Amino acid sequence: MATSLRDTILGAAVEYVAEHGPDTLSFRQLATDAGVSHQAPYHHFSDRRGIFRAIALDGFNQLAQVMSSVEYDSVDSLSEELLIAYVEFALDHPGHFRVMFRRDLCEMEDGSPLADSAEGAFNALVNHVNTLLAPDAPIATIRARSTAMWSLAHGLATLLIEGPLEKKVGHIKNRREFIRSVAQQSGL
């Protein structure tokens, strides 16, 4: 199946952000990296925010899929599997991850496709947390547990992507086992 020009440009943007971060992305650099004319990105994205919105939308859609499809052997292992799924998504998709949570790059207006997609990813986590807790758990408890799990996963992913963690703890030979160990130590 042939890749559309829009997808080619978007793919080049994701690769650039993964390697260099989003702050220096320019349409000229993007066109060069994608191997297209300097005007081609403007035909599909009105500005950098449009590119970042598309990256974030794609990222949240993928994250929702990953979080929804987490498999676990027992309820006791669910927290670990959720943490592993989130961190591995971030490490496998750093170009998306570096954009998805940056409000300065892509605002999420209520009711927008981007906001709905982000909500879908969070709701996938909340649904799993519902499984972890008693059936009559108060919504405040579910939200607090979801936030704690998300914070741990997001923080760990950020530390791994940006590099300072391995400088402190040494090379991580087995990523899944390291993430599992962090989940166990957190008490979640």
Both ends of the chain: CA-CA distance in Å? Answer: 43
What CATH number did the domain enclosing 23 receive?
1.10.10
Whether pTM > 0.85 for this model: the answer is: yes
How much is the average pLDDT of 4-23?
95
The answer on 126 and 181 residing in a single domain is yes
CB-based contact 187:91 (threshold 8 Å): no
What pLDDT sits at residue 2? 56
Domain that holds residue 6: 1-45
State the total domains in the chain: 2
How much is the average pLDDT of 50-69?
96
What residue spans of the chain are helical by DSSP H? 5-20, 27-34, 40-44, 48-68, 75-92, 94-100, 113-132, 139-162, 164-169, 175-186
Task: Tell me the Cα Rg of the chain.
Answer: 18
CB-based contact 32:70 (threshold 8 Å): no
The answer on 98 and 171 residing in a single domain is yes
pLDDT at 1 over 70: no
What pLDDT sits at residue 41? 93
Residues 6+ positions from 130 with CB-CB distance below 8 Å: 137, 142
The answer on 176 and 123 residing in a single domain is yes
Query: What does the alpha-carbon distance between residue 124 and residue 69 come to, in Å, rounded to a whole number?
Result: 9
| DSSP at 134 | -
Please choose, from the candidates 115, 93, 108, 118, the residue with its C-alpha nearest in 3D space to the C-alpha of residue 14: 93
Query: What does the alpha-carbon distance between residue 10 and residue 54 come to, in Å, rounded to a whole number?
Result: 8
What CATH number did the domain enclosing 112 receive?
1.10.357.10
pLDDT in tens, 114-167: 999 999 999 999 999 998 998 899 999 999 999 999 999 999 999 999 888 888
